[in-house]
Amino acid sequence: MIRRKRKRIDEVLTSPRSDRRTLSNVPDPENIRVTLDRRGIQNDITVDAEMDSEYRSKLRMLSLRYTADFEVLIVAKGQKSKAGIKARAVDVSSTGVLVELHDEIDHFKVEDTVSIRFDIPPGTMPEGFESRVKTDAVIIRIFKQQTEKQEKHMIAFEFVKPLTDYFQRKRWGYSVYTASGLLFVAVIFIMLMRVESIIYFKYNLLLYLYSLTAAAFLLTRYLFGALYRDVPINADYMPGVSIIIPCFNEEEWIHRTILSCMNQDYPIDKLEVIVVDDRSTDRSVEQIHKTIDMIHREADRYMTKERLRMHVLTENGGKRVALVKGVEMAKHDLVVFVDSDSFLDPLAIKHLVQPFQDPRMGGVAGRTDVENKYTNSVTKLQTVRYYIAFRIMKAAESWFDSVTCLSGPLSCYRKELIVKHSEAWLNQKFLGQPATFGDDRSMTNFILKTHRTGYQDRAICSTIVPSDMGIFLKQQMRWKRSWLRESLRAGGFIWRKEPFMTLFFYIGLIVPIAAPVIVLYNLIYVPLVHHVFPGTFLMGLFLMAMLMSLAHLLLRKSKLWIFGLVFCIFYEFVLLWQMPVAWVTFWKSTWGTRETPQDVEARNKKEARKKKKKKFGLPF
């Protein structure tokens, strides 16, 4: 587990053990080494280069090793737990664990079977693995490791059953049954409460119509999200792809981003990576050069000199300018936009391109998970929110081929469409102000107007989210302004799409805008004027929150599910009230979280006003 510092907060990141090969997942053009590790798979299974993606993902999950630092209790067969020997885990995978002992133990031998017990701390392995383990394991290696200070005694264990099977029979299985049952109960209660709303129409038509509409809107999203399925990988469809990484002051993460984009299980003659720096004021350019030089030096046989390059803009022009410049440099027909603090799964590109077999498909979004999920409560809240926003909400829109936001961390477009709309995109203004953020929603609108847009759940990337509450709130305000502005644009043409999607969209626009008024009416007006406790309204909010939490538990089997409930409470009492502010300030073009020219200009104007007030002795 690695802890990195950002904004005075230690970011907790899962740390896979590094492979000796710089690009370990890239298909080997010389067939010297295969890219798949068969650890944990029976020997009679043939590893086929064209095996289905689900099986390949299972192989990778079993083979990945993670840096670890937790206590392990080793108990020989027939001994009591009190007689166990304590050791320290060095690395762990789904199939085994490597431990360090303080002293040499003579009575352990290779092929001995022992019982081992340990707790996997959150952040050590992927989400869902944080749990207590008590299982049998076989000693497969005993050796000594010499360091500068001392000689370490090491033992490598192979679990009798992989942790994936162990958890499936233990906590994961229970999570699925519990979440499924409670989800069914929650949906039934919500439907019964909405029947009650019909009865009360005569007392307040608008209020109860809103209540019924909001519930129907949310439940149908979960329904279509559940029906959604990825476009499967077609081994004969591997189109050329150019990955564009716009960078501005990301020296801490850009190294990992570039490596993840290059380390794709994709034909090397069909994939290139272009990094465009938007005149960073930190050491990003130096870090980009260093990373590219390292990849060129250590992985030259993968044609990296022809496939990886960078460009530094002559002046700071903003994210859109950097992306358009990358598209101009791209040689392939599909372009993928990846944020400079996002990291791709090795199979991300292979999954992401599959919907483009449909010539009407103009853009496709991948799934974005939270990388620093275990840093603090702020990142845990976002972990559940991100997963539901993609796996349920975008998946539901993808059912109708009308995803309304191809998100910035990972999205793919037809190059010809980006080129066609680039000038309008770069010069976009709203109420006379330049549109500097919301670039993903803006481009999605250009694409969606004439083409289909989709979502691929197995095209996965992870991203660094704000761990500071102040930065998080500024980000949310910026997103709400972007959502309002671009939703107004989309409302002018979305009616041409599939009828149910059209209804879906307009209800989804009205419900959040009206929500602050509804909450004030139910929580303030009704108790004060009518002296009625808003029990029904609060129960409805609780059940809606439980839908999010239980869906996360069902699909992710993670202990973080409870933060879905916490997020909904936080949304109702904090984030919801950003919406009225966004109504009257959605024309603003400042980011609030980075030094764009518009932010600098706004800050200078604010300082000028302060000086003017100070000059005339006015209060600030």
Q: What is the 3-state secondary structure (H, E, C) of 195-257?
A: HHHHHHHHCCHHHHHHHHHHHHHHHHHHHHHHHCCCCCCCCCCCCCEEEEEEECCCCCCHHHH
What single DSSP character describes residue 138? E
Candidate from 137-146, 343-352, 392-401, 581-590 with smallest mean pLDDT: 581-590
Please tell me whether residue 273 adopts helix, strand or coil conformation. Answer: strand
Please name every residue paired with 66 in a beta bridge, in sequence order, or none if there are none: 16, 92
Q: What percent of the chain has pLDDT over 90?
A: 60
| Residue 345 CA to its chain's centroid (Å) | 11
Mean pLDDT of the region 191-210 = 76
Cα 312 to Cα 246, 277, 554, distances in angstroms:
10, 5, 45
Cβ-contact 222, 547 below 8 angstroms: yes
Mean pLDDT of the chain: 87
Please tell me whether residue 44 adopts helix, strand or coil conformation. Answer: coil
Candidate from 54-68, 118-132, 393-407 with smallest mean pLDDT: 54-68
Q: What percent of the chain has pLDDT over 70?
A: 87
Provide the pLDDT for residue 326: 97
pLDDT tens sequence across 514-555: 999 999 998 999 899 888 888 888 898 899 999 999 999 999
Q: Is the pLDDT of residue 278 over 70?
A: yes
Specify the DSSP element, H or E, that contains 589.
none
Specify the DSSP element, H or E, that contains 548.
helix 535-556
Between CA 82 and CA 396 the distance in angstroms is 53
Q: How many helices (H) and strands (E) does the chain have?
A: 19, 19
Q: Is the pLDDT of residue 576 over 60?
A: yes
Q: What is the 3-state secondary structure (H, E, C) of 486-545?
A: HHHHHCCCHHHCCHHHHHHHHHHHHHHHHHHHHHHHHHHHHHHHHCCCCHHHHHHHHHHH
Specify the DSSP element, H or E, that contains 38.
none
Candidate from 331-335, 392-396, 481-485 with smallest mean pLDDT: 481-485
Greatest mean pLDDT among 168-182, 251-265, 418-432, 483-497:
251-265
pLDDT tens sequence across 474-528: 999 999 999 998 999 999 999 998 888 999 999 999 999 999 999 999 899 989 9
Mean pLDDT of the region 442-465 = 96
Provide the pLDDT for residue 509: 92
Candidate from 67-81, 239-253, 320-334, 390-404 with smallest mean pLDDT: 67-81
Provide the pLDDT for residue 571: 94
Mean pLDDT of the region 229-241 = 95
Provide the pLDDT for residue 60: 67
Q: Is the pLDDT of residue 599 over 60?
A: no
Provide the pLDDT for residue 50: 43
Mean pLDDT of the region 164-191 = 88
Mean pLDDT of the region 60-66 = 78
Provide the pLDDT for residue 76: 85
How would you classify residue 316: left for phi > 0, otherwise alpha for psi between -120 and 50, otherwise beta? beta
pLDDT tens sequence across 336-367: 999 999 999 999 999 999 999 999 999 999 99
Provide the pLDDT for residue 46: 47
Confidence band for 43, pLDDT divided at 50, 70 and 90? very low
Provide the pLDDT for residue 102: 78
Mean pLDDT of the region 244-273 = 96
Mean pLDDT of the region 300-307 = 93
Provide the pLDDT for residue 58: 65
Q: Is the pLDDT of residue 48 over 70?
A: no
Cα-only R_g, the chain: 27
Provide the pLDDT for residue 8: 65
Q: Is the pLDDT of residue 202 over 80?
A: no
Q: Is the pLDDT of residue 451 over 90?
A: yes
Cβ-contact 75, 94 below 8 angstroms: no
Q: Is the pLDDT of residue 2 over 60?
A: no
Provide the pLDDT for residue 16: 81
Provide the pLDDT for residue 281: 93
Provide the pLDDT for residue 390: 97
Mean pLDDT of the region 153-175 = 89
Mean pLDDT of the region 570-584 = 90
Confidence band for 11, pLDDT divided at 50, 70 and 90? confident
Cβ atoms < 10 Å from Cβ of 379: 25
Provide the pLDDT for residue 520: 92
